[in-house]
Structure 1
Amino acid sequence: MGDQTKREAARLVDRVIEEVAAWPHVNTNEHRFEGREFTLGPREVGHVHRWGIVDVPFTKRLRETLVEDGKTEKHHVVPESGWTTYYIKGEEDVERAIWLLRLSYLYHVNNLKKTPAGAEKFENVDVADELAELEISDDVRAAFERRGLPQ
């Protein structure tokens, strides 16, 4: 990867970091291999690497559905896990990377809202409405609902 390509990848990744870091209660931390990690408490929403790789954890069922829908790929190192890998190669990939990270965020918020502390902390995040805005497929919705998506 040439210097100009590295700078462009870093610029695009910075756009993702700026967006995700602004979400309610998201913390950012350093991640290995020139990465930035996004967490909700102890839960990792995902992480990005400076050279344009976005890794996002999902349940295996949700990951399989996203791969089948062509939204992402199996993780480049641990393909049998629930992790996905998405490559930011150009401007058009930034929104998809944010979309995947938002889906992961909503998955964790949905589960955290089932606790008293989480219900209060995330009272202003309407998971069902946001999933509708993401225009998820029926298959992705079914994988989400398996874990008790609010109606």
Structure 2
Amino acid sequence: VLCPRSLESFTNWQKAQKSKAKYQAKAANQRRDYLHKLTTHLVKQYDVIIIEDLKTKNLQKNHHLAKSIANASWRMFRQMLEYKCEWYGKKLIAVDPKNTSRICSKCGYNSGAKPLEIREWTCSKCQTKHDRDINAAVNILHKATPTGQGLAMVTS
């Protein structure tokens, strides 16, 4: 090529850039709107909200989940929860996520690491059968309130 041209001189490229920017802006606005509605609903419905203090950077090392985690906007979700809890006078508790899915919520036995494919497991000490997510939710509730009193867990 004797006379190289920059990409800005191609009109089809410019049209594609504008189209892409519109699509990305629309997706971002839809995500932000959904998060606003969800966080407002949660804060108005519950007096105390307990969340895991997850490190998304570490979670994104799993290449199967990285895109989904990035698209979920967990950081924005948490920021919205924090300031809306302040506005409405509600309480937000962030719990350390260490071993929440490993520990038996009934007897406290740590059965070790499990791959994500294992969704249900049985405690080798007390023989209680656990769903991984519900067990983690109960452990998060126990970590947030040492006595476990005064809070109810809602599961669906």
- Judge same fold: TM > 0.5, yes or no: no
TM-score between the two structures when normalised by the length of structure 2: 0.32
Q: Which has the larger radius of gyration?
A: 2
TM-score between the two structures when normalised by the length of structure 1: 0.33
More strand by share: 1
